[in-house]
Amino acid sequence: MPGQGVSFRWKEDGDPDGFTAWSIFKQETKYFQPSTKEFMMNFRVEDLDGLLEKLRGEGVWIDPNREDYDYRRFAWIMDPEGNRIEL
């Protein structure tokens, strides 16, 4: 993770990889763009592709970039108030 912060590990339904992260980014970071907000929230979802399809149908802006790893997949959207959200 960029910057500094802390992670709080937890288990849910036997998933040993759950954690809540709080990270500090440099003031000049571009990681939250195109949002102009100084923060971003991240949510774990059960069906990323299904949720993105549903959000696209509602007219939600979806970042065309994706990150796929063996352990997780990531996508980004913008809410109506201009907050970037990582899924």
Beta strand 76-78 with 61-62: parallel, antiparallel or unpaired?
antiparallel
CATH number at residue 53: 3.10.180.10
What residues make up the domain containing 48? 26-86
Closest Cα partner for 29 from 8, 7, 1? 1
Residue 18 lies in a domain: no
Residue 41 lies in a domain: yes
- Please answer whether residues 55 and 43 qualify as being in contact, where contact means their C-beta atoms are separated by less than 8 angstroms: no
Residue 15 lies in a domain: no
Residue 17 lies in a domain: no
Question: What is the per-residue pLDDT across 29-81, written as a single tens digit (0 to 9) for each?
Answer: 888 888 888 888 888 898 999 999 999 999 999 999 999 998 789 999 999 99
Question: What is the per-residue pLDDT across 2-19, written as a single tens digit (0 to 9) for each?
Answer: 567 777 777 777 666 777
Q: How many structural domains compose the chain?
A: 1
